[in-house]
Structure 1
Amino acid sequence: MEKVAITGRGLITPLGNGLPVNEEALRLGRSGTVLVPAWKEMGLDSQVAGLADEDPPCELLDPKIKRFAAPNSRMAVAAVCEALKEAGLTKETLKNYKVAIINGCAGSAYEEIHEGARTFEKTGKCKKVKPLIVPRVMASSAVSIMSIALGVTGETYDISSACTSGAHAILLASRLVNTGIYDIVIAGGSEELNWVHALGFNSIRALSTAYNDRPSQASRPFDTERDGFVIAEGAGIVILEKPEHAKARGVKPVSYITGIAANSNAIDMVVPDAASNAEVMKMAVRDAGISPSDIDYINTHGTATPVGDPIEMDAIQRVFGSNPAINSTKSMTGHMIGATGAVEIIFTSMMLEKGFISPSINLDNPEPAFAWADIVRKTRTNLNLKHAISNSFGFGGSNACIVISSADA
């Protein structure tokens, strides 16, 4: 593919709001997982989560539009505010360009749906249900709110592909930039969290339950004592454009997307597949015009499930051997579902830009089967990283891999 410039990034995560706060947390290896007292009181099996600021400050959200914005949308708009500033853009200057928006969101305001249904069941009256429930709960709410807040009239839509949603959005946005139809494409992912959302993952025993009394230790990818993922929320947004377009605007890219790939397992709804995972990584590296030995770092999907981690590590070993450094930033943030792919692409971009790799925390007893791997357990600094990949593997067998390259590569 022709490389696509990342010129702006915005983050709202369990580690905090904004790029500087998230960078500091990554360097320190600080966990964003906390106990959720309401979940404990309700009796959910998993009582920990990665909670983000659901109402972050953002000048683009006026009271009129905020009525339609559930936390998912508010976090997305706040992230786009930061991304525009880094890219040297404003709502007014965006009007000079052809712009599209693609957002990834696996679900949305499940609790509001539950509350609306429960209200009707109790009263039998439609007028008792909140009238704005539909625009607030639809999965495309965030991208619609961004479009209205920014006045963007190009195509805007949501990608819903479970844990791969955010990565798919950035993948498709990169293709759209390469077509030349748009000057700038705003892309990323967002997801809000509530007990209704968590309930389903509790029911299939996908979440960590053994560390409710030690929340910061609950997310432990690659560790022998891992027992499931920590569910989380957040938003990550990037500004994408062709390198020559960024140059014409007088903006230097912070990094590039140089390879993209996606495929499907077509085997199982919830269990990943090593062959498909390996193939999507090969495809992405090939698309970037480089070889597996050129990859310096892999931001894994790394959810800390007993089944998923070994399958991903098998796939990585097949393609890369023991060469790249490996970590899972989910050890700190938890799993932000639809937002996680976008956030982790931004994390990877940040590490390439700043020359560091964050640790996989809580790796107290590494799985012996992963002894071959260069898993980062302490922050590494002063690195010259050229190329990295970010993996996203979702329920339904949906896989995506993005190659991110440094601005100097």
Structure 2
Amino acid sequence: MGAVSPFGTGVESLMRGLAAGESGVRPMAALREISGLVPTIAGTVPDCDEKSIPRKFRRSMSPMSIYATLAAREAVAMAGLDEATLTDAGTGLCLGSTVGSVQAMQAFFARYLDGLSIEGTKATEFFKIMNHSCATNLAQFFGITGRVVAPSAACSTGCQSIGLAAEAVAIGRQEVMLCGGADELHPLTVGTFDVIEAASTGYNEVAEQTPRPFDRDRDGIVCAEGAGLLVLESLDHALARNATILAEISGFASTSDPSNLASPSDEAIARCMSRALDDAGVSPAEVDYVNAHATGTRLGDAAESAAIASLLGAGPKVSSLKGHLGHTMAASGGIETIATISMINIGLVFPTRNLLDIATDCVGLSHVLETEKWPITTALKNSFALGGINTSIVLRRYDD
């Protein structure tokens, strides 16, 4: 596993921040410069060692491709994959982002619209703007020759990438898959949620107190950035090379809710979770922990709470990590899956930060309010996106 998050570079930084109950949300000066934009806080990635990536690769990378490369390099090192395995046709890549680099788009159109000119545009700019920018930059960096897939499903992208990669391995199309999601922060990302009245706006002066998943005083999403990458492989392949197995992906579902573009449905969410459990051959009673999507919006948290309560009851522990990290968009599924796998292995569940007063429309769950010792054999990871794209993954402790 490999991560770049608002807590810094590396899985160790991510888990240290979560264990300490820290907030990665902070003021962002660039947001104050945008006329009409109310939110001024975000979960930004601290300075990272981008120059450790050779310039011949880095020159076609925007920040999100840099985050993805640093996270993937950590995951590959942790997995002990050698160059021969990475470049073999049996190794593929499934990595997505919400869109191409908005920073690169802004830079291009600033020149283009000022006199309708493309003079001064660098040849590498397009490779930052195209929607599969992260995937193709990573494939070039590692020399990947197997299948390369670049899903784009907004906030479901990371989880969807992991599930699709797992399916590619399960049906024998690839032996190894590098997978996950990445995103970079731009004021237009924040502006999107502000325009649809889904952004947190009431805590600009106390950034660490938002977002507030499941809380009575929640007021919306706090946008963030980062990358979360995992190495998946078939069991036979892992055993043959004596790899350390961190967890097993035993179920996956990605479903569509055509009822509304923006308002989530608890029935549709429950259906997605149920299909993932069916795929895993796991009963609702066997789920020990749910890593909720819960972003801190009124409608989203209420719908997910109702869905979990109806399908799973109050049995499993439930928490969202967005109170710590903000919403890292396409990266969230990857980063939060990594955290869930880590919780499985250390026997702890981390709480929902900023959850002080459980909202009446989020009751009926076993909310985690402080770090608890809790043995996890089976965990359910949720990710949901605008447009009704719902995704759930079932993770299980590996026992040989």
Q: Which moved more, 1:312-321 or 1:109-118?
A: 109-118
1:398 paired with 2:389, answer: yes
Is this contact kept in 2: 1:72–1:192, CA < 8 A?
yes
1:334 deviates by 0.7
**2 CA distance for matches of 1:180 and 1:135?**
31
1:47 paired with 2:78, answer: no
1:92 deviates by 4.4
Q: Secondary structure at the match of 1:128?
A: coil
- Tell me what 2:151 maps to: 159
- Tell me what 2:243 maps to: 251
1:130 deviates by 3.5
- Tell me what 2:5 maps to: 13
1:182 is matched with which residue: 159, 174, 186? 174
1:173 is matched with which residue: 165, 183, 186? 165
**2 CA distance for matches of 1:54 and 1:233?**
13
- Tell me what 2:137 maps to: 145
Two-structure CA RMSD over aligned residues (Å): 1.5
1:97 deviates by 6.2
- Tell me what 1:385 maps to: 376
**1 CA distance for matches of 2:140 and 2:332?**
24
Q: What number of residue pairs does the alignment pair up? A: 399
Q: What is the TM-score of this pair, normalised by structure 2?
A: 0.96
Q: Secondary structure at the match of 1:232?
A: coil
Between the aligned residues of both structures, percent identity stands at 31
1:27 deviates by 1.4
- Tell me what 1:294 maps to: 286
**1 CA distance for matches of 2:356 and 2:107?**
41
Larger RCO, structure (CA 8 Å, separation 6 or more): 1
Is this contact kept in 2: 1:353–1:407, CA < 8 A?
no
Q: Secondary structure at the match of 1:164?
A: helix
Question: 1:231-277, CA deviations, whole angstroms, 9 ceiling, x for partnerless residues?
Answer: 01010000001111101001121011011111110111111111110
Q: What is the TM-score of this pair, normalised by structure 1?
A: 0.94
1:96 deviates by 5.1
1:29 is matched with which residue: 10, 13, 21? 21
Question: 1:199-233, CA deviations, whole angstroms, 9 ceiling, x for partnerless residues?
Answer: 22221121101000001111100111111010010
1:77 paired with 2:69, answer: yes
**Partner amino acid for 2:216?**
T
**2 CA distance for matches of 1:401 and 1:25?**
25
Is this contact kept in 1: 2:9–2:48, CA < 8 A?
no
1:118 deviates by 2.0
Q: Which moved more, 1:197-206 or 1:389-398?
A: 197-206
**1 CA distance for matches of 2:89 and 2:148?**
15
Is this contact kept in 2: 1:10–1:238, CA < 8 A?
yes
**2 CA distance for matches of 1:356 and 1:315?**
24
Q: Which moved more, 1:65-74 or 1:201-210?
A: 201-210
Question: 1:108-130, CA deviations, whole angstroms, 9 ceiling, x for partnerless residues?
Answer: 31132122112122133211334
2:260 is matched with which residue: 268, 291, 313? 268
**1 CA distance for matches of 2:64 and 2:304?**
29
2:223 is matched with which residue: 218, 228, 231? 231
1:281 paired with 2:273, answer: yes
Q: Secondary structure at the match of 2:348?
A: coil
- Tell me what 2:120 maps to: 128
- Tell me what 2:101 maps to: 109
**Partner amino acid for 1:103?**
L
After superposition, the Cα gap between the structure-2 partners of 1:293 and 1:185, relative to the gap in structure 1 and judged at 3 Å, is: same
For structure 1, the 5+ residue unaligned runs are 1-8
Is this contact kept in 2: 1:98–1:184, CA < 8 A?
yes
Q: Secondary structure at the match of 1:152?
A: coil
Q: Which moved more, 1:114-123 or 1:299-308?
A: 114-123
2:110 is matched with which residue: 118, 124, 129? 118
Question: 1:40-87, CA deviations, whole angstroms, 9 ceiling, x for partnerless residues?
Answer: 23342111101114644475x211111100001000010001101111
For structure 2, the 5+ residue unaligned runs are none
1:28 deviates by 1.6
